Amino acid sequence: MNIFPAIDIVEGNCVRLTKGELQDKTIYKKSPIDMAKIYQDAGFKTIHVVDLDATLGNGDNKKVLQSIRKNVDINIEIAGGIRSKDAIHEKINEGFDILVIGTFAIKNIEEVLNLDESLLKKISIALDIKNNQLVSHGWQKTNNQSLESIVSKYNMKKIHSYFVTDVANDGMLSGLNMKTFEGIRNLTDKKITIGGGVKDLDDLSISKSHGFDNVVVGKAIYENKISLKSLCQFNVKN
């Protein structure tokens, strides 16, 4: 199992939201570029970067994202506002390694399924769960499609993975709620990345025991609940 340290960006700043709510954000001093370098120097192989402004329809942080890409050599999983085929091609051409796509992938399933396999293998389908419901559009809209329906369709293609977020638990440092994630694990044998609420190394051990492939860790790092050294050691051992 792999750990993906997170960098969430609002107006060029590193932030962490609570429960996906922009008005409830904490801004951190280090820049996104500095954090990316710190993660690379610590030994992580992949980082998870979210353009929250693009996610919420408040512009974007394209220049910051491009600077991150230029300043580190490790894999970057990018998320936030990728809602068209043109946007997918743009992010691939800019050198990002994994694209997390939610709203576009849920609303336009057939369009995504018809992408070239070379693109699909770089796409992680975002399944954002809030209070047991699938949400999209920056976690603001409830989606009526079932997880089973969406996953069954994408299972037919060689996508990179699924990315499941427990939105209601995100930023709470209350521990991963495995009930949110177990359903998707039973629906697919593809890779699954999970996130939302990690508070300590025990959460990571539990995630591994449940068969998940990657875990995103954000606020627990920024609030010094888990050291980068211990996270990297966990990565090496697991």
> Average pLDDT in the 48-61 region?
95
Minimum mean pLDDT among 32-46, 58-72, 129-143: which range?
129-143
Closest by alpha carbon to 171, among 130, 213, 123? 130
Tokens representing 195 are: 């996130």
Domain ranges across the chain: 2-237
CB 192 within 8 A of CB 183: no
Q: Check pLDDT > 70 for residue 93.
A: yes
CB 44 within 8 A of CB 194: no
Task: Please write the tens of the pLDDT for every residue from 213-235.
Answer: 999 999 999 999 999 999 999 88
The confidence band for 72, taking pLDDT boundaries of 50, 70 and 90, is: very high
d(CA 1, CA 191): 10
d(CA 54, CA 79): 9
Catalytic positions, please? Answer: 8, 128
- Residue 116: partners with Cβ closer than 8 Å, 6 or more residues away: none
Q: Check pLDDT > 90 for residue 17.
A: no
CB 131 within 8 A of CB 168: yes
pTM: 0.95
> Average pLDDT in the 30-39 region?
97
> Average pLDDT in the 33-42 region?
97
CATH superfamily of 2-237: Aldolase class I (3.20.20.70)
